[in-house]
């Protein structure tokens, strides 16, 4: 009975996704797309897995994204459980799947416009996640693996990385480059959001910078006739 219920749940979701694909034709999607793209909604509970095999979940991911899933040979043999309690757009459904897969040690990394790679978390450091430049409050709060580049304004980047490290999930995911005044983050989108919030608080002018700004003379106004 349990296997039958799982099969029926998968069949209903697969049919719903396939119907949506007819409407979107050849479009492809990622969890980083804007909210207006792929705005077809899936009813509460339609996205449902209970100890489902990874292959089944990746099949649904393929249908939702419209992309070919390229699987690594070293993926863990995870059992996935997830049930949506609210209606979800196509993009929100992909974000939910990115999150639950990341929790089970699997990263989904878009490649171009037609493919998405499924790799083990420990191998993700050798991959190239997409570079995202959205403002912090527009980053999806989910387990999507991204690259984010920050211009540091006041402090040395390498000094700031120590404060950010506790918020990182991926190993060696934060690189500070003093010569370019940059910090490069390669981590889950939800973690990058937290790190950016911390940076806003700690990347402040030093005492010397504040003193220089006070001592800096104001330009003299020109008198009439000069």
In CATH, the number for domain 1-128 is: 3.55.50.30
Tracing tokens 């690189």 back to the chain, one arrives at 175
Contact 94, 84 (CB under 8 A): no
- Min mean pLDDT across 38-42, 83-87, 120-124 is at 38-42
> CATH 3.30.1370.120 region(s) of the chain?
129-212
> CATH 3.55.50.30 region(s) of the chain?
1-128
pLDDT of residue 3: 45
Residue 7 CA: distances (Å) to CA of 12, 46, 58, 94, 129: 9, 13, 15, 20, 33
pLDDT tens-digit series, residues 52-71: 999 999 999 999 999 999 99
One CATH from 3.30.1370.120, 2.60.40.1760, 3.40.605.10, 3.40.50.970 for 129-212 = 3.30.1370.120
pTM of the model: 0.81
Q: What is the rounded average pLDDT of the residues 26-38?
A: 85
DSSP string, 20-31: HHHHHTT----T
Residue 20 predicted with pLDDT over 90: no
């Amino acid at each position: 009975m349990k296997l039958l219920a799982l099969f029926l749940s998968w069949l209903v979701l697969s049919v719903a996704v396939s119907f949506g694909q007819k409407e979107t034709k050849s479009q492809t999607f990622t969890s980083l797309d804007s909210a207006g793209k792929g705005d077809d909604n899936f009813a509460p509970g339609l996205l449902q897995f209970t100890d489902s095999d990874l292959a089944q979940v990746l099949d649904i991911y393929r249908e939702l994204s419209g992309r070919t899933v390229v699987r690594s040979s070293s993926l863990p043999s995870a059992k996935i459980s997830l049930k949506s309690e609210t209606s979800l757009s196509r993009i929100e459904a992909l974000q939910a799947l990115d999150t639950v897969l990341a929790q089970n040690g699997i990263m989904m990394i878009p490649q171009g416009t037609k493919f998405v790679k499924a790799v083990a978390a420990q191998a993700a450091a050798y991959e190239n996640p997409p570079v995202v430049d959205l403002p912090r409050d527009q980053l999806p709060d989910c387990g999507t693996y991204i690259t984010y580049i920050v211009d540091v304004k006041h402090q040395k980047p390498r000094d700031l990385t120590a404060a950010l490290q506790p918020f990182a999930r991926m190993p060696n995911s934060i690189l500070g480059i003093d010569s370019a005044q940059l910090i490069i983050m390669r981590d889950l989108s939800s973690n990058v959001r937290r790190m950016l919030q911390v940076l806003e608080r700690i990347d402040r002018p030093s005492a010397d910078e504040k003193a220089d700004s006070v001592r800096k003379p104001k330009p003299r106004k020109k008198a009439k006739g000069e």
